[in-house]
């Protein structure tokens, strides 16, 4: 495995700020696989890399709605939630986030982290130069050259045409073609009559 590109987005430094987030980054492996939204954070022992993560949730015992583990009341029905419902790590800290992507062992973590920290320091030096432009948010045109029809055509192995994904109703369910046709015929009908 080779790291072929690292893109860094430096955070703006503010005077008297206690902000520990130093930068976001994306890492490309073997020119084929990208992991985005890694964070470079200032820790007690220096900078470290936090892997992309998601907030952990649980469900309300009354209505079943998902709530963040720090929520004191349900977002849907307002029921009071147990404040000690989050699991804890071996050190006793509350576990509020779960990594989406992460190294499997410490040698891989060190390999990735050292490359990212090195790139972070290089980006800090580049940022001091006149005309500096951050490349983090650039879209690689090569990633999106094919049209939708070309991609679907390449997936079609049986010679059958794929149909486009249909519309959704307000609740996210698929709408039927007959419902769409009825809506098109009746939308706005009778407004000026």
The three-state (H, E, C) secondary structure of 128-143, written as one string: CCCCCCCCCCCCCHHH
Dump pLDDT digits (tens) for 78-106. 999 888 888 888 888 888 888 888 899 99
Print burial letters for 6-30: b (CB count within 10 Å at least 16), e (below 16): bbbebeeeeeeeeeeebbbbbbbee
Under 8 Å between Cβ of 80 and 72: yes
Of 147, 150, 183, the C-alpha closest to 168 is: 183
Q: Are residues 87 and 124 in the same domain?
A: no
Inform me whether the pLDDT recorded for 186 exceeds 60.
no
Q: Containing domain of residue 76, as a range? A: 54-99
Q: Are residues 115 and 83 in the same domain?
A: no
Q: Are residues 148 and 127 in the same domain?
A: yes
pLDDT of residue 141: 44
Q: Are residues 43 and 9 in the same domain?
A: yes
pLDDT of residue 126: 93
Q: Are residues 116 and 132 in the same domain?
A: yes
Residue 41 tokens read as 């954070």
How many distinct structural domains can be found in the chain? 2
Dump pLDDT digits (tens) for 111-150. 999 999 999 999 999 999 999 988 887 755 445 555 556 6
Q: Which helix H or strand E contains 3, and what residues bound it?
A: strand 3-10
Burial of 43 (0-12, 13-18, 19+ CB in 10 A): exposed
Residue 121 tokens read as 């320091």
Q: Are residues 65 and 95 in the same domain?
A: yes
Q: Are residues 93 and 107 in the same domain?
A: no
Note the pTM of the prediction, 2 decimals.
Answer: 0.60
pLDDT of residue 83: 80
Q: Are residues 59 and 88 in the same domain?
A: yes
């Amino acid at each position: 495995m080779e790291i072929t590109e690292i893109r860094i987005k430096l955070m703006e430094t503010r005077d008297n700020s206690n902000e520990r987030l130093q930068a976001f980054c994306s890492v490309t492996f073997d020119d084929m696989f990208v992991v985005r939204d890694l964070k470079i954070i200032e820790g007690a022992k220096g900078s470290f890399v936090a892997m992309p993560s998601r907030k952990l949730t649980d469900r309300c015992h009354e209505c079943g709605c998902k709530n963040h583990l720090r929520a004191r009341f349900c977002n849907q029905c307002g029921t009071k939630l147990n404040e000690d419902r989050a699991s804890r790590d071996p050190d006793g800290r509350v576990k509020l986030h779960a990594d989406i992507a992460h190294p499997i062992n410490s040698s891989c973590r060190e390999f990735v982290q050292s490359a990212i920290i090195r790139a972070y320091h290089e980006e800090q030096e580049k940022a001091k130069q006149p005309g500096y432009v951050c490349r983090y948010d650039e879209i690689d045109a090569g990633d999106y050259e094919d049209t939708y029809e070309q991609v679907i055509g390449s997936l079609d192995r049986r010679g059958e045409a794929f149909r486009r994904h249909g519309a959704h109703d307000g609740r996210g369910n698929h709408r039927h073609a007959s419902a769409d046709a009825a809506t098109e015929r009746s939308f706005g009908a009778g407004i000026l009559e």
